[in-house]
Structure 1
């Protein structure tokens, strides 16, 4: 198991940016099968790595995905999510469309919306107190 407590180091940054991402298929239909998920997890992991991020956890129910990701501060979260959704939709259309087309109509796989929440680190009240209690310059 990887040590997720480590900071990520870039050329000019040190960061620890964790996100919980929830993606739903169009109309929140129960389209996912075990075969789809077994194929989808390595694709999402590879896509994250290509963009300098990391897939920490992958979980799913039949009508939505839960991902815990590291997104580098140099990338916009919305662009990162857009790339994940685009590549995975293309892959699912190419390899699993016969199973999917019975549940969805039209050409779109993912709902246009998603939920993304920052996670990890200290509770917000501790961070707020830490910032409040910084030593102020004397002059």
Structure 2
């Protein structure tokens, strides 16, 4: 674990997110799983969220991230899941029929303030 620095802050904020597909449908395989992985990485990169660890399973996704203090956990998930779902439903129309990527299973939060 390392401290991150802002212009007037030192922080170490990490969140562990787990979200599952609706009804735990096992749709996150092959090309879809690769696309989910890529979209999550792109979204995190664009909002200065660092992925520490992550895994895409057939029916759920785990990520451990380090985020700046100006982003609430709900905002992080809104951005990641919203963008990922929009692109997946557009690129894989059969997923839209299932509406299977809409449920957050659990959220655990770990905050280690620096100083």
**Bucket of the pairwise TM-score, normalised by the shorter protein:** 0.7 to 0.9
* 1:63 equivalent in structure 2: 59
CA RMSD of aligned residues (A): 2.0
- Distance of 1:70 and 1:84 partners within structure 2: 14
- Distance of 2:81 and 2:96 partners within structure 1: 17
- Distance of 1:56 and 1:81 partners within structure 2: 16
* 1:40 equivalent in structure 2: 36
Q: Secondary structure in 1 aligned to 2:71?
A: coil
* Higher-RCO chain (CA-CA 8 Å, sequence separation at least 6): 2
> Residue deviations 1:27-83, cap 9 Å, x none?
221111121121121211121122221122221221111111112111111011011
TM-score of the superposed pair, with normalisation by structure 1: 0.71
- Structure 1 outlier segments of 4+, above 3 Å: none
2:102 is aligned with 1:110: yes
Instruction: Select the structure of larger CA radius of gyration.
Output: 1
* 1:126 equivalent in structure 2: none
Q: For the Cα contact (< 8 Å) 1:17–1:73, is it kept in 2? A: yes
Q: For the Cα contact (< 8 Å) 2:29–2:57, is it kept in 1? A: no
Structure 1: give runs of 5+ residues left out of the alignment. Answer: 122-139
Q: For the Cα contact (< 8 Å) 1:44–1:55, is it kept in 2? A: no
